[in-house]
């Protein structure tokens, strides 16, 4: 999983790759998707007419605000369906740099498929 987020424009992108040999992703909080405070959502799409959605929230780590994300997704087509949960942590800039970039890349902790 890879997610980027721009706190200035309050939008981003999520991509989930090699999930059961499939990859899908999409924009977060773009046109026609309302997001509030610490929450985000957006449509997902991928090869083979995959369509779905992701929804999540920024989470704190003690005093560190928006230190990570948690959420869930569902995606599928006529032949295959999946849903799962995701989590990620902020990748901080190197110590010698004095401020964060306006866009924060997030890396995966784990993407877990749900069991039916």
- DSSP 3-state assignment of 79? coil
Query: What pLDDT is recorded for position 7?
Result: 81
Query: What pLDDT is recorded for position 37?
Result: 82
pTM of the model: 0.76
Question: Which residues, in sequence order, are CB contacts of 95 under 8 Å at separation 6+?
Answer: none
> What is the per-residue pLDDT across 8-50, written as a single tens digit (0 to 9) for each?
888 889 999 989 999 999 999 977 777 888 899 999 999 999 9
Distance (Å, rounded) from C-alpha 108 to C-alpha 98? 25
Question: What's the whole-number mean pLDDT along residues 93-102?
Answer: 41
Confidence of residue 105 (pLDDT cuts 50, 70, 90): very low
Residue 74 has pLDDT above 50, yes or no: yes
- Do 46 and 22 contact (CB within 8 A), yes or no? yes
106, burial (CB in 10 Å: exposed 0-12, middle 13-18, buried 19+):
buried
Question: What's the whole-number mean pLDDT along residues 59-73?
Answer: 88
Which helix (DSSP H) or strand (DSSP E) does residue 19 occupy?
A: strand 11-19
């Amino acid at each position: 999983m890879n997610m980027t987020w721009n706190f200035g424009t309050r939008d981003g992108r999520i991509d989930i790759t090699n999930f059961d040999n499939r990859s899908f992703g999409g924009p977060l909080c773009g046109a026609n998707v309302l997001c509030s405070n610490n929450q985000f959502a957006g449509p997902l799409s991928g090869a083979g007419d995959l369509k779905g959605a992701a929804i999540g929230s920024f989470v704190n780590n003690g005093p560190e605000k928006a230190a990570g994300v948690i959420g869930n997704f569902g995606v599928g087509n006529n032949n295959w369906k999946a849903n799962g949960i995701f989590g990620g942590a902020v990748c901080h800039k190197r110590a010698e740099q004095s401020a964060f970039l306006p866009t924060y890349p997030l890396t995966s902790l784990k993407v877990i498929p749900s069991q039916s």
